[in-house]
Amino acid sequence: MAADPSIEALADQANEVARLLKLLGNSNRLRILCQLVDGPDKSVNCLAERLQISQSALSQHLAKMREDGLITGRRDAQTIYYSLSNSNAEQLLSVLKDLYCDTDGKPRQAGKTKPN
């Protein structure tokens, strides 16, 4: 039986896919990206306040995601504003939202599947 070409293409990109999923596998990084996907650019202070995590922990996560090309930072005086810069991550976040949130954006009850 011939392999599905789209599966073979995914297999060819396995390292890249695994890297992205590993980055999204951390709940704090996932929460940060969920804030950034909503736009516009968010400052470190804004993110720390919204997510209720320390600035030092937030800065470590932001640095990791910046290194891996998921986000970019823009400096304005002493404030750095971050935005999502990876379209694959943006698309994956959209799929996750579709799977885990109701149409109003609120979390779906545990164990409930997306209606067809």
**6 part of a folded domain:** no
The answer to whether residue 64 is domain-embedded is yes
> CATH number, domain at 41?
1.10.10.10
Domain span including residue 39: 18-91
**Burial letters for 74-99: b for 16+ Cβ neighbours within 10 Å, e otherwise?**
eeeeeebbbebebeebeebbeeeeee
Please give the full DSSP string across 2-46, using - where no structure is assigned: PPPHHHHHHHHTHHHHHHHHHHHTSHHHHHHHHHHHT-S-EEHHH
- In this prediction, residue 112 carries a pLDDT of 63
13, part of any domain:
no
Q: Is residue 60 part of a domain?
A: yes
**Is 108 part of a structural domain of the chain?**
no
pLDDT digits (tens, 9 = 90+) for 66-115: 999 999 999 999 999 999 999 999 999 999 988 888 877 677 776 666 55
Q: How many domains does the chain have?
A: 1
Whether 50 shows a pLDDT value over 80: the answer reads yes
In a domain, 11, yes or no: no
Is residue 70 situated within a structural domain? yes
Task: Look at residue 3 and tell me if it is in a domain.
Answer: no
Q: What is the mean pLDDT of residues 40-45?
A: 92
